[in-house]
């Protein structure tokens, strides 16, 4: 008799932490989630690793209880990437984590780029430097918080931190390691650059392949979490990669848009491609392919912001905002929204950029402003597709998942803006399902990812583009791009002004 294998996925995004249990056929047995608090001021975006672990404990207990306490064969972790956690020799965090959109390391990124040793690193990896990546954050810490730097045993990501808590081992996967400018081809960290920066390579996690067995859950941790002691910890990867896998992308030019707090847009190719400083190109060794694309700073988070601004008093805010947006016109009656509320990553990489309603008139209402925000989610995708095309890769179709895919109007807008079929997946939580697929494939429960995706990544509906609407959106998209281009120098000027005002007041946000 075949014994069904079960996978527990700890899935932590920027706004919540979830525990989701799947069986090997893709059936979700149970889940639980809790919001995570974020501390923000103009430069800093921080979260508490201790809060992550405490809430992981809570959601694991509840998901086990809700699913009837099944035997857990495997446990894996998928979180946001490029978030810096400094831990001591016992795995205890020495301070709050620097999240991916933290901007303190802008000057450090520029300084590292001027180092001769970085030229060789860039030549080998094709990865440019921005404040969102790991080495500038560590370098900033060395310069501005030397006491914490000296006490740090390991510089890790949230993925690595939670795996350390589970196993006592400091490891990462090669996709996460690339955020430290790890050369996946040569299988090494940039030793010469690290030496120049005064960073000990031994303080970075060991690098493993995805789907690899790391060790069993520590006995006392298994007791604490309420899981069986023979549970195997298997490494997957960070959320953007897992969500791509969980979207069931297998063929040339297929793409995924996963919009949770941020929008993650990536495509698969087996072609030779050109390097680009606008987006990432990562080797996907298990499928002899490349994953090309990037993530922005806010996707679904834009809708949360709209809710907080205009719909807090509505009983059903998402339904009302969708109705409002539908009652406005295509192009929001000439209103364009630049969605850069936290600066922007791919494809413009501008920490200074900020959100703008351009073209606001007396006639405009809440409906038009909501519509403009909705339409900006399509422009986000199109701007990343433009950067993907510059590498010589085409995008044929797009698979949609994440919380934003629950809003049908936004899915239709994306189809119309892109002028492509949009496939809405049955499982919105593709990050968790992708992590489970990596585990089951890596541990030979499935022979390949295609077999796993046939079980996990089914399509709920296909949305066809309205090409008449597409023509109208192309005019608005040009205005969107030109608005940013014109305002770019003013964003920098605004940043200089804000620095002079020195407003470091911290704001606590739940559900970023």
Please list the pLDDT of the chain residue by residue as tens digits (512 residues): 467 999 999 999 888 999 999 999 999 999 999 999 999 886 799 999 999 999 999 999 999 999 999 999 999 999 999 999 999 999 999 999 999 989 899 999 999 999 999 999 999 888 888 899 999 999 999 999 999 999 999 999 999 999 999 999 999 999 999 999 999 989 999 999 999 999 999 999 999 999 999 999 999 999 999 999 999 999 999 998 999 999 999 899 999 999 988 999 999 999 988 888 899 888 888 788 999 999 999 999 999 999 999 999 999 999 999 999 999 999 999 999 999 999 999 999 998 999 999 999 999 999 999 999 999 999 999 999 999 999 999 999 999 998 899 999 999 999 999 999 999 999 888 999 999 999 999 999 999 999 999 999 999 999 999 999 999 999 999 999 999 999 999 999 998 898 888 656 666 666 55
Report how far residue 11's alpha carbon sits from residue 439's, in angstroms, rounded to the nearest whole number: 14
Query: How far lies 509's CA from each of 16, 305, 319, 351, 416, in Å?
Result: 12, 11, 23, 20, 33
Question: Any idea which residue has 């549970």 for tokens?
Answer: 231
Question: Any idea which residue has 């190109």 for tokens?
Answer: 281
Query: How far lies 233's CA from each of 9, 74, 178, in Å?
Result: 10, 6, 22
pLDDT given at position 1:
45
Sequence-ordered strand ranges (E) for 299-432: 336-338, 356-358, 397-401, 422-425
Report how far residue 54's alpha carbon sits from residue 72's, in angstroms, rounded to the nearest whole number: 20
pLDDT given at position 352:
93
Query: How far lies 470's CA from each of 80, 194, 380, 465, in Å?
Result: 33, 48, 15, 8
* CB contact burial 392-413 (16+ within 10 A = b; e otherwise): ebebebbbbbbbbbbbeebbbb
Sequence-ordered strand ranges (E) for 336-441: 336-338, 356-358, 397-401, 422-425
Q: For the residues of 162-186, what is the DSSP string, one character each?
A: HHHHHHS--EEEHHHHHTTT-BTTT
Q: What is the DSSP letter of 343?
A: B
Report how far residue 447's alpha carbon sits from residue 456's, in angstroms, rounded to the nearest whole number: 14
- Please give the distance of CA 282 from its chain centroid, rounded to a whole number: 15
Helix (H, G, I), strand (E, B) or coil at 504: coil
Neighbours of 169 (CB within 10 A): 17
Torsion angle defined by CA atoms of residues 511, 82, 154 and 199, in that order, rounded to the nearest 10 degrees: -140
* CB contact burial 282-302 (16+ within 10 A = b; e otherwise): bebeebebbbbbbbbbbbbbb
pLDDT given at position 266:
95
pLDDT given at position 504:
63
Q: How, if at all, do strands 280-284 and 459-463 pair?
A: unpaired
184 closest CA partner among 285, 311, 50: 285
**pTM of the predicted model over 0.75:** yes
Report how far residue 406's alpha carbon sits from residue 428's, in angstroms, rounded to the nearest whole number: 8
Sequence-ordered strand ranges (E) for 241-382: 254-259, 263-269, 280-284, 289-295, 336-338, 356-358
Residues in the chain: 512
Q: Which residues contact 462 (CB under 8 A, 6 or more apart)?
A: 421, 422, 423, 424
Report how far residue 466's alpha carbon sits from residue 459's, in angstroms, rounded to the nearest whole number: 20
Give the residue ranges of DSSP H helices in 217-275.
Answer: 219-225, 239-246
- What tokens were used for 145? 């918080």
Neighbours of 218 (CB within 10 A): 17
Give the sheet arrangement for strand 213-216, strand by strand.
28-35, 16-23, 6-12, 74-79, 232-234, 213-216
Q: What is the CA radius of gyration of the chain?
A: 22
49 contacts 85 by C-beta, under 8 angstroms: yes
248 by Cβ neighbours in 10 Å (0-12 / 13-18 / 19+) ranks as buried
């Amino acid at each position: 008799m075949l014994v069904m294998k079960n996978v527990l996925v700890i899935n932590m995004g920027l706004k919540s932490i979830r525990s989701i249990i799947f069986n090997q056929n893709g059936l979700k047995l149970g889940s639980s989630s809790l919001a995570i608090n974020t501390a923000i001021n103009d430069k800093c975006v921080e979260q508490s690793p201790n809060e992550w672990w405490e809430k992981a404990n809570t959601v694991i207990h509840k998901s086990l209880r809700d699913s009837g306490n099944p035997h857990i064969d495997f446990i894996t972790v998928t979180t946001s990437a490029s978030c810096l956690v400094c831990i001591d020799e016992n795995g205890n965090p020495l301070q709050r984590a620097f999240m991916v959109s933290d901007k303190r390391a802008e000057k450090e990124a520029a300084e590292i780029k001027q180092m001769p040793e970085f030229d060789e690193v860039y030549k080998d990896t094709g990865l440019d430097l921005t404040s969102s990546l790991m080495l500038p954050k560590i370098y900033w810490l060395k310069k501005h918080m030397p006491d914490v730097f000296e006490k740090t045993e390991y510089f890790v990501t949230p993925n690595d931190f939670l795996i350390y808590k589970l196993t006592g081992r400091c490891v990462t996967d090669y996709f996460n390691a690339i955020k430290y400018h790890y050369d996946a081809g040569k299988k090494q960290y940039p030793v010469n650059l690290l030496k120049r920066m005064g960073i000990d390579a031994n303080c970075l996690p060991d690098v493993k392949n995805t789907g690899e067995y790391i060790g069993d859950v520590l006995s006392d941790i298994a007791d604490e979490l309420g899981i069986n002691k023979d549970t195997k910890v298997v490494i997957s990867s960070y959320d953007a990669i897992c969500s791509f896998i969980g979207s069931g992308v297998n063929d040339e030019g297929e793409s995924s848009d996963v919009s949770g707090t941020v929008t993650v847009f990536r495509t698969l190719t087996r072609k030779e491609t050109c390097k680009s400083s606008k987006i990432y190109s990562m080797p996907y060794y298990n499928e002899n392919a490349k994953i090309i694309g990037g993530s922005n700073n806010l996707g679904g988070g834009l809708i949360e912001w709209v809710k907080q601004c205009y719909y807090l008093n509505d009983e059903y805010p998402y339904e009302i905002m969708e109705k409002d947006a539908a009652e406005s016109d295509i192009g929001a009656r000439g209103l364009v929204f630049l969605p850069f509320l936290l600066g922007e990553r791919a494809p413009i990489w501008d920490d200074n950029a900020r959100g703008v309603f351009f073209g606001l008139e007396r006639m405009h209402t809440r409906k038009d402003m909501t519509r403009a925000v909705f339409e900006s989610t399509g422009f986000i995708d199109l701007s990343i597709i433009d950067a993907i095309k510059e590498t010589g890769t085409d995008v044929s179709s797009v698979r949609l998942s994440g919380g934003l895919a629950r809003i049908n109007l936004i899915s239709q807008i994306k189809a119309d803006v892109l002028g492509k079929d949009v496939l809405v997946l049955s499982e919105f939580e593709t990050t968790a399902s992708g992590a489970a697929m990596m585990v089951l494939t890596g541990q030979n429960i499935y022979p390949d990812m295609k077999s796993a995706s046939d079980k996990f990544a089914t399509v709920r509906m296909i949305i066809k583009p309205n090409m008449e609407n597409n023509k109208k959106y192309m005019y608005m998209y040009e205005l969107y791009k030109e608005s940013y281009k014109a305002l770019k120098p003013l964003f920098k000027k605004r940043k200089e002004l804000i620095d002079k005002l020195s407003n470091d007041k911290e704001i606590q946000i739940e559900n970023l």
